[in-house]
Amino acid sequence: MRLTGEDVASSVRDAFKDELKKGLSKRHELGKYCIGVSTGTLGLFATLLKIAVANPVIDMVAIICFGALLVSVFISLYMSIPNVVHITPALNIYDDYNKIVRFTSKLMSFWTLTWLIGFIFGVFKLFS
């Protein structure tokens, strides 16, 4: 079977259309995953600090740990809100898609940073 240029172009067009359809829901799915990770980590450290430490004290390290993990929960909650695109005659789908992808990347970076801060301070609190 020999592929023509039109066959390749139509398959690339179909793949791009499929990406546009499903791409906007990826932030929503990623947000739901991050909610589970953030709340699970928050619950894990709360439980371990209560069990592992003989006399649990809320000091600055614990406040930073739980504060950063709570911020990561709120970021993931925001990410899990489905993205709505209003179709207008002036809509440029490609630009709008790129804007959403860039913003999602920034949110994901911020979530990772806050989660890591909470995790590191939680481990430090457990072993100090």
């457990």: which residue's tokens?
126
Residue 123 confidence (pLDDT): 93
Sequence letter at residue 15: A
In a domain, 74, yes or no: yes
Q: Output Rg (C-alpha) for the chain, integer angstroms.
A: 21
Greatest C-alpha distance within the chain: 74
pLDDT above 80: residue 9:
no
Of the listed ranges 19-23, 44-48, 79-83, 88-92, the least confidently predicted one is 19-23
Give this prediction's pTM: 0.78
Nearest to 109 by CA among 72, 82, 83, 68: 72
């709008």: which residue's tokens?
96
In a domain, 4, yes or no: no
Residue 116 confidence (pLDDT): 97
In a domain, 18, yes or no: no
In a domain, 38, yes or no: yes
The domain of 41 spans: 25-127
- Confidence at 112, pLDDT banded by 50, 70, 90: very high
In a domain, 62, yes or no: yes
Of residues 89 and 69, more confidence is placed in: 69
In a domain, 54, yes or no: yes
Q: What is the pLDDT of residues 52-77, one digit of tens each?
A: 777 777 889 999 999 999 999 999 99
Domain count across the chain: 1
Q: Is 58 left (phi over 0), alpha (psi -120 to 50) or beta?
A: beta
In a domain, 20, yes or no: no
